[in-house]
Amino acid sequence: MEILTEISAIIARHASKDGFHATSLERVTLARSSTVTMPMPNVYRPQLCLVAQGQKEVTLGDRVFRYAPGRYGVVTYDLPVTGQVVEATPDKPNLCLYLDFDPVMLGQLALQVSPPPGAPARPIGKTVSDASASLLDAVLRLLLLLDDPAALPILGPLTEQEILYRLLAGPDGARMRQITSSQGRVAQIGRAIAWIGQNFREPFSIERLATEVGMSPSSLHEHFRAVTAMTPLQFQKQLRLQDARSLMLVQDIDATTAAFRVGYESPSQFTREYRRHFGEPPARDIARLRASPSLPVVA
């Protein structure tokens, strides 16, 4: 598709090296990976991710989402996922655009745009879809502003608004509205996700979390799993393991210290769960990451 070729060329020019690259557009980040990568955990925030070239996979709980050129993903909550670039070469790298959602802009648009027809979207907090021609056109025009600094502050917000409009008016419209919702089960699960994100280092029970968000334990469990593909305790465990990995990698602390810092009471349990999640015990995994600094370049 010619428009994808144009989008890829602009991303490649502004992201000339592997990694994530901030841009002069406040909420837009570009990513490039010239090699296939190992699975790498990450926490996705509410955003749009469009793949222009190459392919990647993202796993959320027990669900796997495949991105190919011209496909985009929408995330509506802060979610712990595992990403992996599965198709990329130096001559044809994996190229992606990320647009963080502005909740104020999205909320104002949601009041003006009628919900799309059909049944409400399933509540899962992440999905992958084929981009329409109109969405790709808006993305291209947004990227072209990177080479037009005089027009960027005027046309940038307008083009970003158009992208949000295309999403709200399209098949992901109902899901996009979850970000702005302040009532109902979806909003309660959003508050549960945020609460765990702030308190994951501390032990908690399903009963306590249910009380915090005003739900029954059984309803919380059912709806939380529908949105995240995980139970609340599985969600907490992923956040703890990702936090511990970051502490060991950045602060150069040992596994036992990291385990206690993120809330584990048993270092042996931490090591077992770490190996199950990351594929190797902590020391070996951190040594591998330090020896291969390009591995974290996934999204």
Q: Identify the residue whose tokens are 């305790």.
A: 233
Name the phi and psi angles at 80, rounded to 5: -80, 120
Nearest of 83, 65, 82, 183 to residue 124 by alpha carbon: 65
CA Rg, the chain, in Å? 20
Per residue in 244-270, pLDDT (tens digit) is 999 998 899 999 999 999 999 999 999
Q: Give the pLDDT mean for 55-82.
A: 91
The CATH class of the 2-177 domain is mainly beta
CATH topology of domain 234-291: Arc Repressor Mutant, subunit A (1.10.10)
Is the pLDDT confidence value at 181 over 90? Answer: no
* In the predicted structure, residue 88 carries a pLDDT above the cut 90: yes
| pLDDT score for 71 | 96
Mean pLDDT of the chain: 90
Which pLDDT band, with edges at 50, 70 and 90, does 118 fall under? low
Q: Is the pLDDT of residue 272 over 80?
A: yes
Contact 196, 208 (CB under 8 A): no
The answer to whether residue 296 scores a pLDDT higher than 70 is: no
Pick 126 or 84 by higher pLDDT: 84
Q: Looking at residue 62, what is its pLDDT?
A: 82
For residue range 18-64, list pLDDT tens digits in order: 999 999 999 999 999 999 988 888 888 899 999 999 999 999 888 89
pLDDT interval class at 86 (50, 70, 90): very high
Given a contact cutoff of 8 angstroms between Cβ atoms, the answer to whether 45 and 54 are in contact is no
CA angle 10, 12, 13 (to 5 degrees): 65
Domain ranges of the chain: 2-177, 184-229, 234-291
pLDDT in tens, 201-222: 999 999 999 999 999 999 999 9
Torsion sign (Cα): 34, 39, 42, 46: positive
Q: Report the amino acid identity of residue 31.
A: A
